[in-house]
Amino acid sequence: MKRILITGALGQIGSELTLKLRDIYGADNVIATDIKKNDSEAAQSGPFETIDVTDLNRMVEVAKKYKVDTVMHLAALLSATAEAKPVFAWNLNMGGLMNGLETAKELKAQFFTPSSIGAFGPSTPKDNTPQDTIMRPTTMYGVNKVAGELLSDYYFHKFGVDTRGLRFPGLISYVALPGGGTTDYAVEIYYEAVKNGKYTSYIDKGTYMDMMYMPDALNAIVDLMEADSSKLIHRNAFNVTAMSFDPEEIAASIAKFVPGFKISYNVDPDRQKIAESWPNSIDATAAKEEWGFKYAFDLDKMTKDMVEKLRQKI
């Protein structure tokens, strides 16, 4: 990668990925875009352009202006928000993705977009979920992600666009606040632990979901994009994961670093239903074999780092 355009650059992943890529490839070579600018470091530390991803002409215009060779399409409406606004979610998630792919096709650029464990559904095997398996999601977000994987495959096979993607689990970060996902409790719990020493979970006890610490997720994106294209069998998208836990286990980990921490429950039936439709744990063997996926943070190592960083931040 030499010149990279990022959509949704001020979101949960983008705000950190933009800075990481600027460190690696140079600030002027990473063009951050979002629907509006803010005063964040991602918006201020290098080139920034305003893009509504439903506007193909604007996306192509900016991509050509900077002569990009890579498009990273992150702009999307997340799971819980998408359930509340399904028509808007379809138009934004699928329309934006199609425009991103068309832009990559026009510029003969490499293309990345994240998928999600939300692509799986209630009929998917729950434990050690395979790379290739039944995918019948019951959420609009999940439908978008499955369609997005297939659409990215289509652009590779039909037009030769070098498309790549990752099925992310829940992502945990101390930098950007979560933005309407089902796994957001695993970020909120750390903030509340540091601020108040307690947390009320909207996800019920005993509900396992895959998770990953943001530094591992960012490394996985770079490693996949720099991987030898000829070795990639599964392009869109690779299962990746670092840990699987339920609310009791994350609470127990936090209590090691925040003595006296307490968790209680007030279950949100909508988000609980989404969580129960997702796997308990997934198999990342294909990612390890095809491009050397690895992670550094397990639950306790992540918790230690999250608590230290949030104490400094808060």
Contact 47, 31 (CB under 8 A): yes
Under 8 Å CB-to-CB from 88, ≥6 apart: which residues? 77
The per-residue DSSP string of 65-105 comes to HHT-SEEEE-----HHHHHHSHHHHHHHHHHHHHHHHHHHH
Structural tokens at position 167? 């099925």
Annotated catalytic residue, options 141, 190, 199, 213 = 141
The token pair at 246 is 């339920």
Catalytic annotation on 141?
yes
> How far is 66 from 3, CA to CA, in rounded Å?
8
Residue 47: what residue type?
P
What residue type is assigned to position 236 of the chain?
Answer: N
The two beta strands, 209-213 and 170-172, are parallel
Indicate which residues carry an active-site annotation. Answer: 141
